[in-house]
Amino acid sequence: MFETLSDRLTTVFSSLRSKGRLSESDINATAREIRVALLEADVALPVVKDFIAQIRERARGAEVSQALNPAQQVVKIVNDELINILGGETRRVRFAKRPPTVIMLAGLQGAGKTTLAGKLGRWLKSEGHAPLLVAADLQRPNAVQQLEVVGERAGVAVFAPEPGNGVGDPIEVARRSIEQARHAQHDVVVIDTAGRLGVDAEMMQQAADIRDAVEPDEILFVVDAMIGQDAVTTAQAFLDGVGFDGVVLTKLDGDARGGAALSVRHITGRPIMFASTGEKLEDFDVFHPDRMAGRILDMGDILTLIEQAEKAFDADQAAKMTTKFASGEDFTLDDFLEQMMMIRKLGPIGNLLGMLPGMGQMRDQVGNIDDKDLDRVAAIIRSMTPGERSAPKIINGSRRARIAKGSGVTVGEVGALVTRFFEAQKMMRQMAGGMGIPGMPGTRR
């Protein structure tokens, strides 16, 4: 996500690190380099111009703080300005006072609307809502079926036209879906509409007609971040043709430059509300301008990480473990597995690393750690007997061979895992000792 831009900016900053103070020519050179970095990342020219003007002015200005060195000052200014062009505050969905809240999705074909409907459905559900997804894209073959599939995957109801009955009239489908939502007590309706490969009058008219029929609380313009500069022109066309309240950036996982997406907010004046970062339903999040700026500048995204950790963290499970240790039981391979599954729930390990400060530069080295490693460890533990899991000391050569065979790994891998486990166990004992949990083996030492 924005790797090229991120790398370029990091290089600019590191060249400033040795400077004691910034001269006029340092500022000019830095501004020039940032300008090139933004243009190369496909950020629209008017946005780049405003951005650079701000950077120059602020770098020269009085705000040069004593507390920060020149490189840090520039990072701070660039960070502030990035947050600014990305919209400043996080813009949340405005739910209607009287449900159902109607959210309409608009955008070109292939932008990711149908996928997004599923993601929004899943997200809304996790926020305690009862969403209804509506298949009003009757243009693209299979769009209705695709929505039914994502709806099922997300565990969310889908309203689709019954075959032979009103099929072909998306406006009628949209209108009826609102009645259905009231009837079945869905408090949010997400309407998927048809797109075309390019902007055309008929598509705009249909979207505008659906808008007039259901009076959405939020119209979200969905745009593929990989389409480069076209993102800006398409956004402008939808703004004129249908109007929208917020933007959803999709395919931010692509390695495309994506900078055009950064321009959409500045050009249209509409906030980016969500970001999609993959094909799976969970590859999706509320868009936070400050966190995105932090990621682009490789300052990590600790807040997102903490939030995800909170979601994945199972308080009951943790309490169970604490009680268990307090009662004097030892840390077993089952506990080890349980903890690993908690980490697994945080999401793909590559994404997690991207959120840690400074990890951007290490991306290449860590690229080969993948989720399969975690899954393999889980498979090994699951191939053990309960006795082996609670007392791994009994795992001798022949047991190792059996476990390796059962989990489809080498005997060496089983051995390595057991060794790692003993290290983890030792650490747990020391931690328990340090915390003074009565009865823990560590406290007796």
d(CA 50, CA 13): 20
Q: Per the annotation, does 196 bind a ligand?
A: yes
Q: Are strands 218-224 and 272-276 parallel, antiparallel or unpaired?
A: unpaired
Smaller CB separation from ligand GDP, 115 or 308: 115
Cβ neighbours for 394, distance < 8 A, ≥ 6 positions apart: 387, 388
**In this structure, what token pair is assigned to residue 178?**
């609102």
Least distance in angstroms from the C-beta of 254 to ligand GDP:
6
Q: Which of 22, 34, 77, 111 binds ligand GDP (CB under 6 A)?
A: 111
Q: Which of 113, 122, 265, 288 binds ligand GDP (CB under 6 A)?
A: 113
Closest residue by Cα to residue 110 from 283, 260, 276, 269: 276
**In this structure, what token pair is assigned to residue 42?**
């496909």
Q: Which of 70, 112, 170, 271 binds ligand GDP (CB under 6 A)?
A: 112
Smaller CB separation from ligand GDP, 109 or 339: 109
Size of the site for ligand GDP (CB under 6 A): 18
**Which stretch in 106-114, 231-239, 294-302, 320-328 sits in contact with ligand GDP by CB under 6 A?**
106-114
Of residues 233-262, those binding ligand GDP (CB under 6 A): 250-251, 253
Least distance in angstroms from the C-beta of 24 to ligand GDP:
43
Smaller CB separation from ligand GDP, 55 or 124: 124
Smaller CB separation from ligand GDP, 1 or 305: 1
How far from 33 is each of 23, 28, 349, 352, 419, CA to CA, in Å? 15, 9, 32, 29, 49
Smaller CB separation from ligand GDP, 31 or 231: 231
Least distance in angstroms from the C-beta of 283 to ligand GDP:
6
Least distance in angstroms from the C-beta of 231 to ligand GDP:
14
Query: Would you count residue 109 as binding ligand GDP (CB under 6 A)?
Result: yes
Smaller CB separation from ligand GDP, 12 or 150: 150
Smaller CB separation from ligand GDP, 277 or 332: 277
d(CA 81, CA 431): 43
- The answer to whether 326 and 439 have CB atoms below 8 angstroms apart is yes
- The answer to whether 11 and 3 have CB atoms below 8 angstroms apart is no
Could you tell me how many residues make up the chain?
Answer: 445
Q: Per the annotation, does 194 bind a ligand?
A: yes
Q: Per the annotation, does 110 bind a ligand?
A: yes
Least distance in angstroms from the C-beta of 271 to ligand GDP:
19
Q: Per the annotation, does 280 bind a ligand?
A: no
**In this structure, what token pair is assigned to residue 261?**
């997406």
Smaller CB separation from ligand GDP, 15 or 109: 109
d(CA 330, CA 133): 48
Buried b (16+ CB within 10 A) or exposed e, 224-252: bbbbeebbbebbebbbebbebbbbbbbbb
Query: Would you count residue 115 as binding ligand GDP (CB under 6 A)?
Result: yes
Query: Would you count residue 177 as binding ligand GDP (CB under 6 A)?
Result: no
Least distance in angstroms from the C-beta of 193 to ligand GDP:
9
Query: Would you count residue 110 as binding ligand GDP (CB under 6 A)?
Result: yes
Q: Which of 10, 30, 73, 114 binds ligand GDP (CB under 6 A)?
A: 114
Query: Would you count residue 122 as binding ligand GDP (CB under 6 A)?
Result: no
Identity of the residue numbered 174: A
**In this structure, what token pair is assigned to residue 152?**
């099922």
Smaller CB separation from ligand GDP, 116 or 232: 116
Q: Per the annotation, does 112 bind a ligand?
A: yes
Site string for ligand GDP, 195-234 (x = CB under 6 A): x---------------------------------------
- The answer to whether 403 and 383 have CB atoms below 8 angstroms apart is yes
Is residue 87 left, alpha or beta, with left meaning phi > 0 and alpha meaning psi from -120 to 50?
Answer: left
How far apart, in Å, do the first and last CA atoms of the chain sit? 49
Q: Per the annotation, does 408 bind a ligand?
A: no
Of residues 266-325, those binding ligand GDP (CB under 6 A): 276-279, 283
- The answer to whether 6 and 295 have CB atoms below 8 angstroms apart is yes
Using DSSP's 3-state secondary structure scheme, residue 25 falls into: helix
Strands (E), 170-286: 188-193, 218-224, 246-250, 272-276, 284-286
- Which residues contribute to the annotated binding site for GTP? 107-114, 192-196, 250-253
- Which residues contribute to the annotated binding site? 107-114, 192-196, 250-253
Q: Which residues bind ligand GDP (CB under 6 A)?
A: 107, 109-115, 140, 195, 250-251, 253, 276-279, 283
